[in-house]
Structure 1
Amino acid sequence: MRPGDAGPAVSQVISLLTGLGLLEAPDGVAGPSSYDDRVELAVRAFQQQRGLTVDGRVGPSTFRRLDEARWRLGDRILTHRPGNLVAGDDVYALQSRLLDLGFTVGRLDGYFGTETEAGVREFQRNFGIPPDGTCGPATLKALARLRPLVSGGAPNAMRAEEWIRESGPHLGGKTVVVDVTSGEPILHDLAARIEGRLVAIGVQAYLTTPRWAAHPRDEAERAAFANRAGADLVVSLALDSSDNPDACGVAAYFFGDADPQTWSSAGERLAGLVQREVVARTGAVDLRCHPKTWDLLRRTRMPAVHLDAGYRTHAGDLARLEDPAHRDVLAAAVVVAVQRFYLSPDVDAATGVLDVRELRDSFEQGAGRA
């Protein structure tokens, strides 16, 4: 749906936006009946809040998120459905409440997955409710009676830091999934270079899309592939475009929306490292790191980064991306960022100077002396 459209689907979108308080008509003025400028602005505001691509149009992703946003905790019974996860603002509210009460629910993503089910079971066991993992009337009543002793403190961030420490600095044996968002030869080549460099240092690296594929599968399927592979990290590669031919530069994205509480702290760390290494080694324009809730970032259970490696619509960016030497530098930057993700501050090096092979050799020498 886009500006100028009308019909039942547009009426449904208008109703959802109105229910969210994003679309209001002044006193004495009729609300919109078609996809006019007011609706477009409301859609853009919603997309910005939810970490979606802001284009003012209602495609499948935006419509799905609008539908999720209508649910409030208590509107329905919440349970884990493998293969067809329940999603919505009510799930997010449940996750937030359990997290504030000290229970582990995984990422605050609005999906009722296995970790959220486990958190509900643990809550039920602690409060004398049959631990069936379903958030029904008894569980909702118990949640309503309780008030968190402490809120904030970023418990998920602390758990992520502990997970990184426990993973250790060595990349050998870790699994990284490398994803491409389109079938462009530049991206396939860059993904293959990253894969090759990772394999050379002992990482199990998998591509979500084979080089001969003209089009990748959809994001949800690629996220499911990464989850099945048991990946430790996901690196997704993309090229950006713009109607403005002067738009250029690189940007990195991690899971999260306008509310920092939703941010994946590990994903933010990985995105920051990738962005800084790429900018330092290539001299590209730094468009910074940003939270997004695109399906690949939201549906993966491990830290994930989406890297826009440049603009296909900018002559300078495209010329660099078509140069194999530049793609090799990009690949090196990504692999170094992956290594730095696991390093403690006392071992980490300055941005743009670390050599992964030299670091691996120093680890091996240290192990030999020990």
Structure 2
Amino acid sequence: MGDDLLRLGDEDDRVAALRARLAGMGLVDGSPDADLDTPDGPSRRFDADLERAVRAFQQQRGLSADGIVGPGTRAALADAAWVLGDRVLEHLPGALAGGDDVIALQRRLLDLGFAVGRVDGLFGPETAAGVAEFQRNVGLEPDGVLGPDTMAALGRLRPRASGGNPNAMRAAERIRAAGPSLDDKLVVLDVVPFTTDVPGLGADAARLDALGSTAVEAVASLVEQGLVEVGARSLRTTPGPERERAWASNRSGGAVCVSLTTDASTDPGAGGLSTYYYGIDAHDIRSTAGERFAGLVHREVLARTPFADGGCHARFWDLLRMTRMPAVRIDLGCVTHAPDATALGDPEVLASVARAIVVAVQRVYLGPEDDSPTGLLSLDDLRALRDRPDSPEG
């Protein structure tokens, strides 16, 4: 176990601090103001109650609810500590301020009619531009910095009725304006290296690693071939931290992003296809375009393969959070689940998964007049749509 992880059974001052933080959120019994250094302070033992509280926090924040406090959960806890007005916010390239206060600012500006890009809790250039435009409108120096004067001006104004989610409407319009053809659209493929992290597998771990990695690589290659057949282009991300892969995806100008991996579980009965899109339940935030894309992929794959339905879920993972195009993460079953392992070893199933992904990409851009029920469109149908006389390429 790495020193940077906290999990069930650990006992030290970090656990006491974690318990106090979660007590302040009402997720576990205790006082958030208790002195950590007194006998009556928070318990230093990571017990079952604290694990349940960690899982509940992770679920609220769109993280993998494994009950283990690693870098992602620790960062989310830090984000949750900030309240709008606690600090000055400004855009610092390479060191973006993040937190719940940034989310509150982004939502406030959107409600007032100022564009900030995606509500992602990161003070990036689009958010700074939104702050500057707000400042310009209220007669302040448009420096894009949220300081005391700008915060006071925000507090004086009431949001206008927006008539819906402006970001969702902008995303829908971008997709409509892109047109139905996939010709020259770029699909970013993010192939996630797979390594089982399940104790007790012994020598079987290497075999399962190979099964998961081989299956994901096969699907990625088949998706690339299918995209070429329907006129699209593809680009793979370079292995590295999620943020770097997201930034590279954005620089590429990709139309959509598809992230592929498999899963593993300590429960041999846990399995099925799971898909993920950007969202965080704690703030009722969703990427509407990402949710629609993930739903299309999920239903197409389920309709064409034997995988069980593992659900379509909102997550706050950096790759989904920071990409500026509709993005989906696909977990192609669990290698530790016997039916999934069989499917992942079947070339026909993998080919069906790849066809389903290509079809789902096309369906993102089809209007109601050209779309079809789930599971019916083939690559031949997509080629026919592309070649028909009334298409731009026909």
Match of 2:233 among 195, 204, 212: 204
Helix, strand or coil: the match of 1:256? strand
Distance 1:170-1:185 versus aligned 2 partners, 3 A rule: same
Q: Is 34-43 or 50-59 further displaced after alignment? A: 34-43
Q: Is 298-307 or 148-157 further displaced after alignment? A: 148-157
In 2: Cα distance, 1:276 partner to 1:147 partner: 41
1:193 aligns with 2:252: no
Residue equivalent to 1:213: none
Residue equivalent to 2:14: 9
1:356 positional shift: 3.5
Question: Any idea what the Cα deviations from partners look like across 1:282-322, whole Å, max 9, x if unmatched?
Answer: 14212221101112111212111011111101122111111
In 2: Cα distance, 1:17 partner to 1:318 partner: 38
1:142 positional shift: 0.6
State whether residues 272 and 307 of structure 2, in contact with CA within 8 Å, keep that contact through their aligned partners in structure 1: yes
1:230 aligns with 2:226: no
State whether residues 124 and 131 of structure 1, in contact with CA within 8 Å, keep that contact through their aligned partners in structure 2: yes
1:110 aligns with 2:115: no
Distance 1:21-1:152 versus aligned 2 partners, 3 A rule: farther
In structure 2, stretches of 5+ residues that fail to align are: 1-5, 35-39, 195-212
Amino acid in the other structure paired with 1:202: G
1:100 positional shift: 1.0
Runs of 4 or more off by more than 6 Å in structure 1?
none
1:166 positional shift: 0.9
1:221 positional shift: 2.0
1:249 aligns with 2:272: yes
In 2: Cα distance, 1:257 partner to 1:152 partner: 22
State whether residues 340 and 348 of structure 1, in contact with CA within 8 Å, keep that contact through their aligned partners in structure 2: yes
Helix, strand or coil: the match of 1:366? coil
Helix, strand or coil: the match of 1:53? coil
- Count the aligned residue pairs: 364
Residue equivalent to 1:212: none
Question: Any idea what the Cα deviations from partners look like across 1:206-251, whole Å, max 9, x if unmatched?
Answer: 1124xxxxxx422222212212212111101121222222222111
In 2: Cα distance, 1:160 partner to 1:248 partner: 33
Distance 1:8-1:25 versus aligned 2 partners, 3 A rule: closer
Helix, strand or coil: the match of 2:307? coil
TM-score, with structure 2 as normaliser: 0.87
Amino acid in the other structure paired with 1:220: R
Match of 1:97 among 83, 108, 118: 108
Helix, strand or coil: the match of 2:113? coil
Amino acid in the other structure paired with 2:21: L
Considering only aligned residues, what root-mean-square deviation do their CA atoms show, in Å? Answer: 2.1
1:76 aligns with 2:99: no
In 1: Cα distance, 2:135 partner to 2:233 partner: 39
In 2: Cα distance, 1:48 partner to 1:152 partner: 30
In 2: Cα distance, 1:101 partner to 1:312 partner: 48
Amino acid in the other structure paired with 1:188: E
Q: How does 1:151-190 map to 2 (within 5 A)?
A: 153-183=164-194, 184-190=213-219
State whether residues 113 and 162 of structure 2, in contact with CA within 8 Å, keep that contact through their aligned partners in structure 1: no
Helix, strand or coil: the match of 2:329? strand
TM-score, with structure 1 as normaliser: 0.92
Percent sequence identity over aligned pairs: 50
In 2: Cα distance, 1:312 partner to 1:288 partner: 17
Amino acid in the other structure paired with 2:217: H
Amino acid in the other structure paired with 1:154: N
In structure 1, stretches of 5+ residues that fail to align are: 210-215
1:147 positional shift: 1.1
Distance 1:152-1:84 versus aligned 2 partners, 3 A rule: farther
